[in-house]
Amino acid sequence: MSPLETGLAGFAALTLLIYAGMHISTALLLVSFVGISLIRGDWALAGQMLGQTATDAVTEYEFGTAPLFVLMGFMVMAAGIGRDSYIVAERMFGRLRGGIGQATVVGNAIFSAVTGVSIAAVVMFTRMAVPEMLRRGYPERLAVGVVAGSAMLGMLIPPSVLMIIYAVITETSIGDMYNAGLVPGVILSAAFMVTIWVVAGRHPGMKAAAQAVRSESGDLSHTRLLRMMVPIGLLMLLVLGGMYAGLFTATEAGAVGAAGATLIALARRALTPRSFWQILIDTGYVTASIVLIIASAAMFTRFLAISGLPSYMSQWITTHQFTLLSVMLVYILVVLVLGTALDSVSTVLIAVPVFAPVFKDMGADLVWVGIITMITVEIGIITPPLGISPFIVKSTLDADGLGHRISLNDIYWGALPFAAAALVVVGLIVVWPPLALWFK
């Protein structure tokens, strides 16, 4: 086979292996190693390239962002900041139509701004918000759809681990990606809140729900609520404020955030020697997984470059005079299709290495492409057949004894309006790129 044919075969093999259930890192390394060996005709050379690629990938200065933000996320969860963000948001929006849903979106946005962990947010808000919404008379599909849909915010609002992986693949600045994610994150949050308001208006019982007796947060004094807001505000000011003010880089922001979250957890007496050690171990596990993914992604990118597949696609697109908009629409469609059956990381690692060089050759800003990618990929986590967010909601409900009332199908249908709202936001960013490049 020619190098180009090997590249196409490798891309197809990678997709099939991941669909078959092979771990993404293993599939990437296997396909890349075999593909480079076949193209170069030298297995030893492929092994040397694998070692060098892994070394280059994990010794990047900006890679330090990942373990630091992972540590910060675990500390935030230990300190109970996510719970506090929801209670404060519920107090602010609880009396509006669909107010508990609105509070869930706001709480999720705040939680995302200090952790960037979607799965943790899904579990936490399923346990806190869904029972409260059901008690207030919310339709079951709306109650679970709000939680599943708002999980998309975790990978768009900085800090975001998925943004780090994208930045490594495309060799863009992690700081630029974080800066670019703020405005779209706010817009997407607003779109979700509008969606809840519209959907809630179609159910007569929602007016009574808005006037229902407040949850325990309603009995809290203003002083108590202020005390809840202070740690959240300080951490956001340290991490996001410091980055946007140019006081420190994304990596330094991770260090400051991790230190700040640790101090908050200590001040709240939420840490014991045993729990602190467990947090360090969990951070190590997650970091090791990210290291393997980044190294394997870098290897796969080199394999594609050697095969000439991205260059061939660029030349083919130039020859046929396709516009940037038409290529972007194809890219969005590919990401959406992949996202319906694969996790977010797998989708990014398959689609981005192929299309990023094409966009670069066409003069597109890869940060703009990255923000579109983040939202489009996250739509996949709430769409059937294998969207991971509804599965997590369902398993959490089953564990809490509510699974008999709500089926997986109900969760998918409940999340559908939020997927539609996210697609509208994607369309706005495609048509008007400054929305994603406001703070770059």
**Using an 8 Å Cβ cutoff, are 279 and 74 in contact?**
yes
Q: What is the pLDDT of residues 83-130, one digit of tens each?
A: 777 777 777 776 677 777 888 888 778 777 666 666 667 777 787 778
pLDDT of residue 216: 44
| Six token digits for residue 432 | 């008007």
What pLDDT is stored for residue 422 in this prediction?
93
- Give the largest CA-CA distance in the chain: 72
Count Cβ atoms within 10 A of the Cβ of residue 222 and give its class: 0-12 exposed, 13-18 middle, 19 or more buried: exposed
Instruction: Give the chain's length.
Output: 440
Q: What is the pLDDT of residues 365-401, one digit of tens each?
A: 999 999 999 999 888 878 876 667 787 788 788 877 7
Q: Are 75 and 265 in contact (CB under 8 A)?
A: yes
| pLDDT per position as a tens digit, 301-333 | 788 778 877 777 777 776 777 888 888 998 998
d(CA 229, CA 224): 9
Q: Which residue's structure tokens are 């230990």?
A: 78
pLDDT at 95 (0 to 100): 67
Range 267-291 average pLDDT:
83
Place of tokens 């393997």: 292
| Closest residue by Cα to residue 68 from 262, 246, 244, 243 | 262
Q: Of 64-68, 113-117, 130-134, 408-412, which range is least confident? A: 113-117
Q: What are phi and psi of 370, to 5 degrees?
A: -65, -40
For residue 375, the model assigns a pLDDT of: 92
Rg (CA), the chain: 22
Q: What is the mean pLDDT of the chain?
A: 79
Give the Cα separation of 373 and 350 in Å (integer).
Answer: 12
DSSP structural state of residue 63: G
For the chain, percent of residues with pLDDT exceeding 90:
9
Q: Determine the Cα angle at 295 with ends 293 and 296, to 5°.
A: 65
- Tokens 């489009």 sit at which residue? 376
What does the block give as tokens for 175? 């700081």
In sequence order, the 6+-apart residues with CB closer than 8 A to the CB of 2 are none
Q: Which whole-number Å values give the CA distances from 315 to 75, 309, 310, 311, 321, in the listed order?
A: 48, 10, 9, 6, 10
Distance CA 131, CA 215 (A): 11
Residue 440 confidence class, pLDDT cut points 50, 70, 90: low
Encoded amino acid at 233, one letter:
G
pLDDT band at 213 (very low <50, low <70, confident <90, very high): very low
In this prediction, residue 165 carries a pLDDT of: 83
Give the residue-averaged pLDDT of 237-265.
81
401-416: average pLDDT: 83
Listed in sequence order, the residues at least 6 apart from 434 whose beta carbon sits closer than 8 Å to its beta carbon are none
How far is C-alpha 147 from the geometric centre of its chain's CA atoms?
A: 14
pLDDT given at position 370: 93
CA distance linking residue 440 with residue 426, whole number of Å: 18
Cα–chain center distance at 289: 16
Would you list the DSSP string of 140-159?
HHHHHHHHHHHGGGGGTSSS
pLDDT at position 114, please?
A: 67
Name the residue with tokens 């990118």. Answer: 301
CB-count exposure of residue 415 (10 Å: 0-12, 13-18, 19+): buried
* Confidence band of 215 (pLDDT split at 50, 70, 90): very low
Q: 428: which residues sit within 8 A by CB, 6+ positions away?
A: 187, 435
pLDDT for res 424: 94
Residue 62 has pLDDT above 50, yes or no: yes
Q: What is the DSSP string of 120-136?
A: HHHHHHHHHHHHHHHHT
| pLDDT over 70 percentage in the chain | 88
pTM: 0.75
Count of H-run helices and E-run strands, the chain: 21, 0
Which is nearest to 340 in space by CA: 371, 374, 376, 372? 376
Between 136 and 274, the higher pLDDT residue: 274
Positive or negative, the CA dihedral 53, 54, 59, 61 is positive
pLDDT at 187: 92
- Read off the tokens for 109: 């946005």
Task: Report residue 401 as tokens.
Answer: 């004894």
Q: What is the DSSP letter of 161?
A: H
